Amino acid sequence: MTDSGAARVAVYLDFDNIVISRYDQVNGRNSFQRDKAKGFDEVRDKLDRATVDVGAVIDFASSFGTLVLTRAYADWSAEINARYRGQLVGRAVDLVQLFPAAAYGKNGADIRLAVDAVEDMFRLPDLTHVVIVAGDSDYIALAQRCKRLGRYVVGIGVAGSSSRMLAAACDEFVTYDALPGVPALEPAPVTDEKPAPKRRSTRAKAAAADPVEDPEPPDPQASATGLLTRALRIGLEKDDADWLHNSAVKAQMKRMDPSFSEKALGFRSFSDFLRSRSDIVELDESSTIRMVRLRDGV
């Protein structure tokens, strides 16, 4: 008999999205398409460096509850995906075969994945969590729909290739790099190869002519400091208390920015993160319950 109070988790992996994003992260921007055109037989070392640890993804997803279904969407006849089949089948992942459209090479994983996820939520009303392993902004609507249907939505994407809007649409968003068991990223070796000059599209030319440009992404450390300050001020306003529990502050920060992760910022714990901000916060560690507050004048 299933425990009605137990968390039950469905995991959906846009496998091409994760594999390509990780490859570009490790070997350089747009390197996947360049190396695919040459043939991956010549770049086996690059493939090995960019191997995705599927086990780390599934293990993290299982921390939310019992995995009741896990699906990975890709063209499994493609060599770069086929090399993962043993690893995936060994973890009881259902491999959904997709075939790329001849004209664009896009396999439509986002549509098929979204349709399956919504269908599963109605077919399995006891699902409590939905884990979307992809960083594409195409999944924003799916994350929002899952939340409206009462599910807790977790996103997992590769740092630098994940949509900030998708992260905001999830209840929690974690970068692949920050998952337990994933080794720290090593810089790609320097080569003499020069990237081919890019042809500017009509859209790019129009953007260049437009004096309004997208701002540069903010410094993650500065963003985290601002997030912490806002969370503490909100806690002070809500509870009318100077000292707040560490866990409550972190929970508020995650609600405001689901992509926040102290580990992604280089800290082993949230307390270490707070200690690094000693110029703006005071940390009380005199008991097992750690408390934190804003310094006077901040």
Q: Are 12 and 117 in contact (CB under 8 A)?
A: yes
257-282: pLDDT as tens digits: 888 999 889 999 999 999 999 999 99
Let me know whether 114 and 248 are in one domain. Answer: no
Backbone angles phi, psi at 131, to 5 degrees: -110, 120
92 inside domain: yes
Kindly tell me if the per-residue pLDDT of 182 is higher than 80.
yes
Residue after which a domain boundary falls, among 178, 195, 228: 178
Let me know whether 32 and 120 are in one domain. Answer: yes
190 inside domain: no
Q: What separation in angstroms does the CA of 224 have from each of 58, 87, 253, 256, 265?
A: 27, 36, 9, 11, 9
Enter the pTM of the model: 0.73
Neighbours of 246 (CB within 10 A): 19
Match 């896990």 to its residue by tokens: 70
CATH number at residue 17: 3.40.50.1010
33-89: pLDDT as tens digits: 888 888 877 778 888 899 999 989 998 998 899 999 999 999 998 888 999 998 899
Let me know whether 15 and 160 are in one domain. Answer: yes
Let me know whether 287 and 166 are in one domain. Answer: no
- Quick one: average pLDDT of 196-204? 47
Strand, coil or helix: 116: helix
Average pLDDT over the chain, rounded to an integer? 85
Q: Are 241 and 205 in contact (CB under 8 A)?
A: no
213 inside domain: no
Match 């270490």 to its residue by tokens: 272
For residue 290, give its domain range: 220-294
Let me know whether 287 and 151 are in one domain. Answer: no
Let me know whether 225 and 174 are in one domain. Answer: no
Total domain count for the chain? 2
Q: Are 139 and 161 in contact (CB under 8 A)?
A: no
Closest to 46 (Cα-Cα) out of 62, 34, 60, 64:
34
Let me know whether 146 and 227 are in one domain. Answer: no
Written in H, E and C, the secondary structure of 27-73 is: HCCCHHHHHHHHCHHHHHHHHHHCCCCHHHHHHHHHCCCEEEEEEEE
Q: Are 12 and 73 in contact (CB under 8 A)?
A: yes
Q: What is the distance between the alpha carbons of residues 163 and 135, in angstroms, rounded to a whole number?
A: 6
